[in-house]
Protein backbone atom coordinates (compact mmCIF):
# COMPACT_ATOMS: atom_id res chain seq x y z
CA UNK A 1 0.00 0.00 0.00
CA UNK A 2 1.43 3.35 -1.05
CA UNK A 3 1.18 6.31 1.33
CA UNK A 4 -0.84 8.88 -0.59
CA UNK A 5 0.71 12.25 0.02
CA UNK A 6 -1.90 14.09 -2.05
CA UNK A 7 -4.60 13.00 0.41
CA UNK A 8 -3.53 15.66 2.87
CA UNK A 9 -1.70 18.12 0.59
CA UNK A 10 -2.77 18.75 -3.00
CA UNK A 11 -0.07 21.40 -3.36
CA UNK A 12 2.86 19.07 -2.70
CA UNK A 13 4.64 18.97 -6.06
CA UNK A 14 7.96 17.45 -4.95
CA UNK A 15 8.64 14.58 -2.55
CA UNK A 16 11.27 11.98 -1.70
CA UNK A 17 10.43 8.28 -1.74
CA UNK A 18 11.98 4.82 -1.82
CA UNK A 19 11.41 2.42 -4.73
CA UNK A 20 9.47 -0.64 -3.53
CA UNK A 21 9.15 -2.64 -6.75
CA UNK A 22 10.15 -2.50 -10.41
CA UNK A 23 8.33 -4.49 -13.09
CA UNK A 24 7.68 -4.42 -16.83
CA UNK A 25 4.27 -4.53 -18.49
CA UNK A 26 3.53 -6.54 -21.69
CA UNK A 27 4.21 -3.48 -23.86
CA UNK A 28 7.65 -3.05 -22.32
CA UNK A 29 6.96 -0.06 -20.07
CA UNK A 30 8.50 0.08 -16.59
CA UNK A 31 6.08 -0.08 -13.65
CA UNK A 32 7.43 1.51 -10.49
CA UNK A 33 5.89 1.48 -7.03
CA UNK A 34 7.15 3.70 -4.22
CA UNK A 35 6.62 3.66 -0.46
CA UNK A 36 4.94 7.09 -0.72
CA UNK A 37 3.73 9.23 -3.61
CA UNK A 38 2.13 12.56 -4.39
CA UNK A 39 1.25 11.38 -7.95
CA UNK A 40 -2.49 11.08 -8.45
CA UNK A 41 -3.59 7.87 -10.22
CA UNK A 42 -6.61 7.87 -12.55
CA UNK A 43 -9.69 7.33 -10.37
CA UNK A 44 -13.04 8.83 -9.51
CA UNK A 45 -13.32 10.61 -12.85
CA UNK A 46 -10.06 12.52 -12.39
CA UNK A 47 -7.15 11.69 -14.70
CA UNK A 48 -3.59 10.94 -13.62
CA UNK A 49 -0.71 13.30 -12.95
CA UNK A 50 2.44 13.25 -15.02
CA UNK A 51 5.96 14.32 -14.01
CA UNK A 52 9.37 12.88 -13.34
CA UNK A 53 11.30 10.60 -11.00
CA UNK A 54 14.76 12.05 -10.35
CA UNK A 55 17.70 9.96 -9.19
CA UNK A 56 20.13 12.27 -7.40
CA UNK A 57 21.66 14.56 -10.00
CA UNK A 58 22.16 11.77 -12.53
CA UNK A 59 18.95 12.19 -14.45
CA UNK A 60 15.19 12.17 -14.54
CA UNK A 61 12.73 9.57 -15.81
CA UNK A 62 9.44 10.72 -17.27
CA UNK A 63 6.29 9.44 -15.57
CA UNK A 64 3.93 8.99 -18.53
CA UNK A 65 0.95 7.61 -16.66
CA UNK A 66 -0.11 6.76 -13.11
CA UNK A 67 -2.55 4.00 -12.23
CA UNK A 68 -3.95 2.46 -9.09
CA UNK A 69 -3.75 -1.23 -8.24
CA UNK A 70 -7.09 -1.55 -6.49
CA UNK A 71 -6.26 -4.91 -4.92
CA UNK A 72 -3.05 -3.79 -3.24
CA UNK A 73 -3.90 -0.09 -2.98
CA UNK A 74 -0.55 0.64 -4.63
CA UNK A 75 0.09 3.60 -6.91
CA UNK A 76 1.87 2.42 -10.07
CA UNK A 77 4.12 4.93 -11.85
CA UNK A 78 4.38 4.00 -15.52
CA UNK A 79 7.53 5.06 -17.38
CA UNK A 80 7.70 5.00 -21.17
CA UNK A 81 10.32 2.57 -22.39
CA UNK A 82 11.84 -0.28 -20.40
CA UNK A 83 15.26 -0.76 -18.82
CA UNK A 84 14.90 1.90 -16.14
CA UNK A 85 17.95 2.11 -13.82
CA UNK A 86 15.69 1.95 -10.73
CA UNK A 87 16.07 -0.89 -8.23
CA UNK A 88 14.06 -1.66 -5.09
CA UNK A 89 15.54 0.56 -2.39
CA UNK A 90 16.63 3.39 -4.72
CA UNK A 91 15.77 6.80 -3.29
CA UNK A 92 14.05 9.04 -5.85
CA UNK A 93 12.64 12.53 -5.88
CA UNK A 94 9.17 12.70 -7.42
CA UNK A 95 8.36 15.90 -9.30
CA UNK A 96 4.79 16.55 -10.46
CA UNK A 97 3.87 18.58 -13.54
CA UNK A 98 2.31 21.40 -11.53
CA UNK A 99 0.45 23.07 -14.45
CA UNK A 100 -1.34 19.83 -15.25
CA UNK A 101 -2.10 19.24 -11.56
CA UNK A 102 -3.48 22.76 -11.13
CA UNK A 103 -5.71 22.30 -14.18
CA UNK A 104 -7.05 19.02 -12.77
CA UNK A 105 -7.67 20.60 -9.35
CA UNK A 106 -9.59 23.45 -10.96
CA UNK A 107 -11.76 21.10 -13.03
CA UNK A 108 -12.37 18.67 -10.19
CA UNK A 109 -13.09 21.29 -7.51
CA UNK A 110 -15.30 23.15 -9.97
CA UNK A 111 -17.22 19.93 -10.51
CA UNK A 112 -17.97 19.66 -6.77
CA UNK A 113 -19.32 23.23 -6.75
CA UNK A 114 -21.34 22.81 -9.96
CA UNK A 115 -22.81 19.44 -8.88
CA UNK A 116 -23.82 20.94 -5.52
CA UNK A 117 -25.42 23.92 -7.27
CA UNK A 118 -27.54 21.65 -9.52
CA UNK A 119 -28.59 19.60 -6.52
CA UNK A 120 -29.39 22.60 -4.28
CA UNK A 121 -31.35 24.55 -6.89
CA UNK A 122 -33.11 21.80 -8.81
CA UNK A 123 -32.59 18.54 -6.89
CA UNK A 124 -30.57 17.02 -9.77
CA UNK A 125 -28.08 14.48 -8.35
CA UNK A 126 -24.77 13.92 -10.15
CA UNK A 127 -24.44 10.27 -11.18
CA UNK A 128 -21.05 10.44 -12.89
CA UNK A 129 -18.14 12.72 -13.68
CA UNK A 130 -15.66 12.57 -16.54
CA UNK A 131 -12.58 14.71 -17.06
CA UNK A 132 -11.43 14.91 -20.67
CA UNK A 133 -8.46 16.59 -22.31
CA UNK A 134 -10.55 19.54 -23.44
CA UNK A 135 -13.66 19.59 -21.31
CA UNK A 136 -15.36 17.83 -18.41
CA UNK A 137 -18.83 16.39 -18.07
CA UNK A 138 -21.22 15.43 -15.30
CA UNK A 139 -24.32 13.33 -15.83
CA UNK A 140 -27.35 14.52 -13.88
CA UNK A 141 -30.24 12.30 -12.82
CA UNK A 142 -33.01 14.19 -14.59
CA UNK A 143 -35.12 13.71 -17.69
CA UNK A 144 -34.51 17.22 -18.94
CA UNK A 145 -33.01 20.56 -18.04
CA UNK A 146 -34.01 24.02 -19.23
CA UNK A 147 -31.57 26.67 -20.32
CA UNK A 148 -32.79 28.79 -17.40
CA UNK A 149 -32.06 26.00 -14.89
CA UNK A 150 -28.60 25.50 -16.37
CA UNK A 151 -27.82 29.21 -16.21
CA UNK A 152 -29.07 29.51 -12.60
CA UNK A 153 -26.78 26.65 -11.50
CA UNK A 154 -23.84 28.16 -13.39
CA UNK A 155 -24.54 31.52 -11.74
CA UNK A 156 -24.74 30.06 -8.21
CA UNK A 157 -21.56 28.01 -8.78
CA UNK A 158 -19.69 31.16 -9.86
CA UNK A 159 -21.00 33.10 -6.87
CA UNK A 160 -19.50 30.40 -4.64
CA UNK A 161 -16.22 30.79 -6.56
CA UNK A 162 -16.15 34.56 -6.02
CA UNK A 163 -16.97 34.12 -2.31
CA UNK A 164 -13.65 32.25 -2.02
CA UNK A 165 -14.95 29.73 0.49
CA UNK A 166 -12.39 27.48 2.25
CA UNK A 167 -12.15 23.89 0.96
CA UNK A 168 -11.04 21.39 3.62
CA UNK A 169 -10.35 17.68 3.76
CA UNK A 170 -12.00 15.73 6.61
CA UNK A 171 -12.00 12.06 7.48
CA UNK A 172 -15.05 10.28 8.90
CA UNK A 173 -16.54 6.80 9.18
CA UNK A 174 -19.46 6.02 6.84
CA UNK A 175 -21.84 6.21 9.87
CA UNK A 176 -20.53 9.64 10.85
CA UNK A 177 -20.70 10.75 7.22
CA UNK A 178 -24.39 9.85 7.04
CA UNK A 179 -25.19 12.10 9.99
CA UNK A 180 -23.09 14.94 8.54
CA UNK A 181 -25.27 15.27 5.42
CA UNK A 182 -22.69 14.10 2.86
CA UNK A 183 -24.03 14.61 -0.69
CA UNK A 184 -23.00 11.21 -2.05
CA UNK A 185 -21.54 8.31 -0.04
CA UNK A 186 -19.64 5.75 -2.16
CA UNK A 187 -21.10 2.23 -2.12
CA UNK A 188 -17.77 0.49 -1.32
CA UNK A 189 -17.41 -0.19 2.41
CA UNK A 190 -14.47 1.70 3.82
CA UNK A 191 -13.36 2.34 7.38
CA UNK A 192 -12.67 5.99 6.79
CA UNK A 193 -14.14 8.23 4.16
CA UNK A 194 -12.25 11.23 2.86
CA UNK A 195 -14.64 14.15 2.73
CA UNK A 196 -14.22 17.38 0.80
CA UNK A 197 -15.87 20.21 2.71
CA UNK A 198 -16.66 23.40 0.80
CA UNK A 199 -17.45 25.79 3.63
CA UNK A 200 -21.18 25.95 4.24
CA UNK A 201 -22.01 24.82 0.71
CA UNK A 202 -21.07 21.19 0.00
CA UNK A 203 -19.73 18.10 1.74
CA UNK A 204 -18.87 15.11 -0.42
CA UNK A 205 -16.76 11.96 -0.27
CA UNK A 206 -13.90 12.11 -2.76
CA UNK A 207 -10.32 10.88 -3.17
CA UNK A 208 -9.22 13.50 -5.69
CA UNK A 209 -7.07 16.61 -5.53
CA UNK A 210 -8.77 19.92 -4.79
CA UNK A 211 -8.04 23.61 -4.38
CA UNK A 212 -7.61 25.26 -0.95
CA UNK A 213 -10.44 27.70 -1.47
CA UNK A 214 -13.09 28.10 -4.16
CA UNK A 215 -11.48 31.30 -5.50
CA UNK A 216 -8.67 29.12 -6.92
CA UNK A 217 -11.18 27.48 -9.26
CA UNK A 218 -11.18 30.80 -11.14
CA UNK A 219 -14.51 30.36 -12.89
CA UNK A 220 -16.96 27.72 -14.06
CA UNK A 221 -18.29 27.83 -17.60
CA UNK A 222 -21.05 25.49 -18.73
CA UNK A 223 -20.66 24.73 -22.43
CA UNK A 224 -23.60 22.57 -23.36
CA UNK A 225 -26.19 20.08 -22.15
CA UNK A 226 -27.41 16.98 -23.96
CA UNK A 227 -29.76 14.10 -23.27
CA UNK A 228 -27.99 10.81 -22.53
CA UNK A 229 -29.17 7.36 -21.46
CA UNK A 230 -28.77 7.98 -17.75
CA UNK A 231 -30.05 11.56 -17.71
CA UNK A 232 -28.66 14.87 -18.89
CA UNK A 233 -24.96 15.39 -19.63
CA UNK A 234 -23.55 18.81 -18.75
CA UNK A 235 -20.26 19.82 -20.36
CA UNK A 236 -18.18 22.44 -18.55
CA UNK A 237 -14.71 23.89 -18.16
CA UNK A 238 -13.12 25.63 -15.18
CA UNK A 239 -10.26 28.00 -14.40
CA UNK A 240 -7.57 28.63 -17.00
CA UNK A 241 -9.21 26.03 -19.23
CA UNK A 242 -12.35 28.18 -19.22
CA UNK A 243 -10.28 31.21 -20.20
CA UNK A 244 -8.63 29.25 -23.03
CA UNK A 245 -11.98 27.91 -24.25
CA UNK A 246 -13.65 31.32 -24.08
CA UNK A 247 -10.70 32.83 -25.98
CA UNK A 248 -11.06 30.16 -28.69
CA UNK A 249 -14.83 30.74 -28.91
CA UNK A 250 -14.34 34.50 -29.06
CA UNK A 251 -11.78 34.27 -31.85
CA UNK A 252 -14.03 32.00 -33.91
CA UNK A 253 -16.93 34.40 -33.42
CA UNK A 254 -14.76 37.42 -34.23
CA UNK A 255 -13.62 35.79 -37.46
CA UNK A 256 -17.21 34.96 -38.38
CA UNK A 257 -18.33 38.52 -37.53
CA UNK A 258 -15.55 39.98 -39.71
CA UNK A 259 -16.72 37.87 -42.65
CA UNK A 260 -20.18 39.36 -42.24
CA UNK A 261 -18.82 42.83 -41.32
CA UNK A 262 -20.97 42.81 -38.22
CA UNK A 263 -20.81 42.68 -34.42
CA UNK A 264 -20.30 39.20 -32.94
CA UNK A 265 -23.74 39.29 -31.34
CA UNK A 266 -25.31 39.76 -34.79
CA UNK A 267 -23.63 36.64 -36.25
CA UNK A 268 -26.59 34.23 -35.79
CA UNK A 269 -28.98 36.75 -37.40
CA UNK A 270 -26.56 37.22 -40.32
CA UNK A 271 -26.19 33.47 -40.78
CA UNK A 272 -29.98 33.05 -40.88
CA UNK A 273 -30.20 35.85 -43.46
CA UNK A 274 -27.44 34.28 -45.58
CA UNK A 275 -29.07 30.86 -45.45
CA UNK A 276 -32.36 32.38 -46.65
CA UNK A 277 -30.50 34.14 -49.48
CA UNK A 278 -28.76 30.91 -50.47
CA UNK A 279 -32.10 29.09 -50.56
CA UNK A 280 -33.75 31.65 -52.79
CA UNK A 281 -30.65 31.85 -55.03
CA UNK A 282 -30.78 28.06 -55.42
CA UNK A 283 -34.46 28.23 -56.33
CA UNK A 284 -33.78 30.98 -58.90
CA UNK A 285 -30.89 29.00 -60.35
CA UNK A 286 -33.06 25.91 -60.64
CA UNK A 287 -35.73 27.90 -62.50
CA UNK A 288 -33.12 29.30 -64.89
CA UNK A 289 -31.67 25.87 -65.56
CA UNK A 290 -35.16 24.58 -66.31
CA UNK A 291 -35.54 27.35 -68.87
CA UNK A 292 -32.12 26.65 -70.40
CA UNK A 293 -32.95 22.93 -70.58
CA UNK A 294 -36.28 23.73 -72.22
CA UNK A 295 -34.59 25.91 -74.88
CA UNK A 296 -31.80 23.41 -75.37
CA UNK A 297 -34.33 20.61 -75.82
CA UNK A 298 -36.24 22.61 -78.48
CA UNK A 299 -33.02 23.38 -80.38
CA UNK A 300 -31.80 19.77 -80.24
CA UNK A 301 -35.15 18.41 -81.40
CA UNK A 302 -35.17 20.74 -84.40
CA UNK A 303 -31.64 19.83 -85.51
CA UNK A 304 -31.68 16.12 -84.69
CA UNK A 305 -31.56 13.68 -87.62
CA UNK A 306 -34.37 11.17 -87.97
CA UNK A 307 -32.96 7.66 -87.35
CA UNK A 308 -34.66 4.34 -87.86
CA UNK A 309 -38.07 5.28 -86.62
CA UNK A 310 -36.88 7.71 -83.91
CA UNK A 311 -35.12 11.01 -83.36
CA UNK A 312 -31.64 10.29 -82.00
CA UNK A 313 -30.05 13.03 -79.90
CA UNK A 314 -26.40 12.59 -78.98
CA UNK A 315 -24.94 15.53 -77.08
CA UNK A 316 -21.97 16.16 -74.76
CA UNK A 317 -21.90 19.15 -72.32
CA UNK A 318 -18.40 19.87 -71.02
CA UNK A 319 -19.53 22.45 -68.44
CA UNK A 320 -22.86 21.02 -67.22
CA UNK A 321 -23.52 18.52 -64.45
CA UNK A 322 -25.54 15.34 -64.04
CA UNK A 323 -28.54 17.25 -62.65
CA UNK A 324 -28.77 19.29 -65.84
CA UNK A 325 -28.45 16.43 -68.33
CA UNK A 326 -31.10 14.46 -66.40
CA UNK A 327 -33.42 17.46 -66.55
CA UNK A 328 -32.72 17.80 -70.29
CA UNK A 329 -33.31 14.09 -70.89
CA UNK A 330 -36.72 14.34 -69.21
CA UNK A 331 -37.69 17.31 -71.38
CA UNK A 332 -36.52 15.66 -74.61
CA UNK A 333 -38.31 12.37 -73.98
CA UNK A 334 -41.62 14.10 -73.33
CA UNK A 335 -41.83 14.34 -77.12
CA UNK A 336 -42.85 11.36 -79.24
CA UNK A 337 -40.17 8.96 -80.51
CA UNK A 338 -37.02 10.43 -78.99
CA UNK A 339 -33.84 8.65 -77.85
CA UNK A 340 -31.36 10.85 -75.98
CA UNK A 341 -27.76 9.85 -75.25
CA UNK A 342 -26.33 12.66 -73.11
CA UNK A 343 -23.02 13.15 -71.33
CA UNK A 344 -21.39 15.78 -69.16
CA UNK A 345 -17.84 16.58 -67.99
CA UNK A 346 -17.12 18.73 -64.94
CA UNK A 347 -16.36 17.43 -61.46
CA UNK A 348 -18.40 14.26 -61.91
CA UNK A 349 -18.39 13.11 -65.57
CA UNK A 350 -21.66 11.25 -66.20
CA UNK A 351 -23.94 9.67 -68.79
CA UNK A 352 -27.72 9.69 -69.13
CA UNK A 353 -29.54 7.46 -71.65
CA UNK A 354 -33.29 8.06 -72.02
CA UNK A 355 -36.11 7.36 -74.43
CA UNK A 356 -39.73 8.37 -74.84
CA UNK A 357 -41.58 5.90 -72.58
CA UNK A 358 -42.82 2.87 -74.49
CA UNK A 359 -40.13 2.74 -77.20
CA UNK A 360 -38.62 -0.68 -77.79
CA UNK A 361 -35.04 -0.05 -76.57
CA UNK A 362 -33.70 -0.96 -73.13
CA UNK A 363 -31.75 2.01 -71.75
CA UNK A 364 -30.86 0.19 -68.49
CA UNK A 365 -29.24 -2.68 -70.41
CA UNK A 366 -27.48 -0.25 -72.74
CA UNK A 367 -26.07 1.67 -69.77
CA UNK A 368 -24.87 -1.53 -68.06
CA UNK A 369 -23.01 -2.48 -71.23
CA UNK A 370 -21.45 1.02 -71.51
CA UNK A 371 -20.32 1.38 -67.89
CA UNK A 372 -18.87 -2.11 -68.01
CA UNK A 373 -16.68 -1.03 -70.91
CA UNK A 374 -15.72 2.17 -69.04
CA UNK A 375 -15.06 0.39 -65.74
CA UNK A 376 -17.54 2.57 -63.85
CA UNK A 377 -20.98 2.03 -62.31
CA UNK A 378 -24.49 2.75 -63.43
CA UNK A 379 -27.93 1.45 -64.28
CA UNK A 380 -31.60 2.27 -64.55
CA UNK A 381 -34.83 1.06 -66.13
CA UNK A 382 -35.92 0.56 -69.74
CA UNK A 383 -36.68 4.27 -70.28
CA UNK A 384 -33.97 6.11 -68.33
CA UNK A 385 -30.56 5.18 -66.96
CA UNK A 386 -27.49 6.95 -65.66
CA UNK A 387 -23.87 6.09 -65.07
CA UNK A 388 -20.40 7.44 -64.40
CA UNK A 389 -17.46 8.06 -66.71
CA UNK A 390 -13.75 8.29 -65.85
CA UNK A 391 -13.45 11.71 -67.51
CA UNK A 392 -15.21 14.09 -69.92
CA UNK A 393 -13.48 12.81 -73.07
CA UNK A 394 -14.42 9.22 -72.39
CA UNK A 395 -17.98 10.25 -71.51
CA UNK A 396 -18.22 11.96 -74.91
CA UNK A 397 -16.76 9.03 -76.88
CA UNK A 398 -19.03 6.60 -74.98
CA UNK A 399 -22.21 8.29 -76.26
CA UNK A 400 -20.83 8.47 -79.82
CA UNK A 401 -20.04 4.77 -79.62
CA UNK A 402 -23.44 3.89 -78.19
CA UNK A 403 -25.20 5.92 -80.90
CA UNK A 404 -23.81 3.52 -83.54
CA UNK A 405 -26.18 0.86 -82.21
CA UNK A 406 -29.08 3.00 -83.43
CA UNK A 407 -27.81 2.95 -87.04
ZN1 LIG B 1 -13.33 15.60 -5.69
Distance between CA 341 and CA 237 in Å, rounded? Answer: 60
Going from the Cα of 210 to the center of ligand 1, the distance in angstroms, rounded, reads 6
Closest CA to 338 of 298, 368, 366: 298
Going from the Cα of 209 to the center of ligand 1, the distance in angstroms, rounded, reads 6
Convert the pLDDT of each residue in 131-177 to its tens digit: 998 999 999 999 999 999 999 999 999 999 999 999 999 999 888 88
At 307 the pLDDT is 64
Q: Which residue ranges in the chain fall short of pLDDT 70?
A: 82, 188-189, 307-308, 407
Going from the Cα of 112 to the center of ligand 1, the distance in angstroms, rounded, reads 6
Going from the Cα of 264 to the center of ligand 1, the distance in angstroms, rounded, reads 37
End-to-end CA distance of the chain: 91
At 308 the pLDDT is 63
Q: Which residues keep their CB under 5 angstroms from ion ligand 1?
A: 108, 206, 208
Convert the pLDDT of each residue in 30-76 to its tens digit: 999 999 999 999 988 889 999 999 988 778 899 999 999 988 889 99
At 387 the pLDDT is 97
SS3 347: coil
The answer to whether 80 touches 62, Cβ cutoff 8 Å, is yes
Distance between CA 94 and CA 227 in Å, rounded? Answer: 42
Contacts of 27 (CB under 8 A, 6+ apart): none
Q: What is the pTM of this model?
A: 0.77
> How many CB atoms sit inside 10 A of residue 369's CB?
12
Going from the Cα of 42 to the center of ligand 1, the distance in angstroms, rounded, reads 12
Going from the Cα of 229 to the center of ligand 1, the distance in angstroms, rounded, reads 24
Going from the Cα of 184 to the center of ligand 1, the distance in angstroms, rounded, reads 11
Going from the Cα of 249 to the center of ligand 1, the distance in angstroms, rounded, reads 28
Question: On the CB side of 44, how many CA atoms lie within 13 Å of its CA?
Answer: 22
| CA angle, residues 323, 368, 329, in degrees to nearest 5 | 30
Amino acid sequence: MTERLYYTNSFLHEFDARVVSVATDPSGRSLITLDRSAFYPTSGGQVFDTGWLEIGTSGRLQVAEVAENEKTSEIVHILDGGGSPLQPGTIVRGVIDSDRRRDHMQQHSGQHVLSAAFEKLHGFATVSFHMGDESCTIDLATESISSKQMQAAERLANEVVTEDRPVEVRFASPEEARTMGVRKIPPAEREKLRLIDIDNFDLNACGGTHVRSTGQIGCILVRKTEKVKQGVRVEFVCGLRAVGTARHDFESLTEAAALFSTHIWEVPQQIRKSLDEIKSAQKAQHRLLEEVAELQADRLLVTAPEGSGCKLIVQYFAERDLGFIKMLAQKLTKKEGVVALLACGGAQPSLVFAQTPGLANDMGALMKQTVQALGTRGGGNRDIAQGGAPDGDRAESAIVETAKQFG
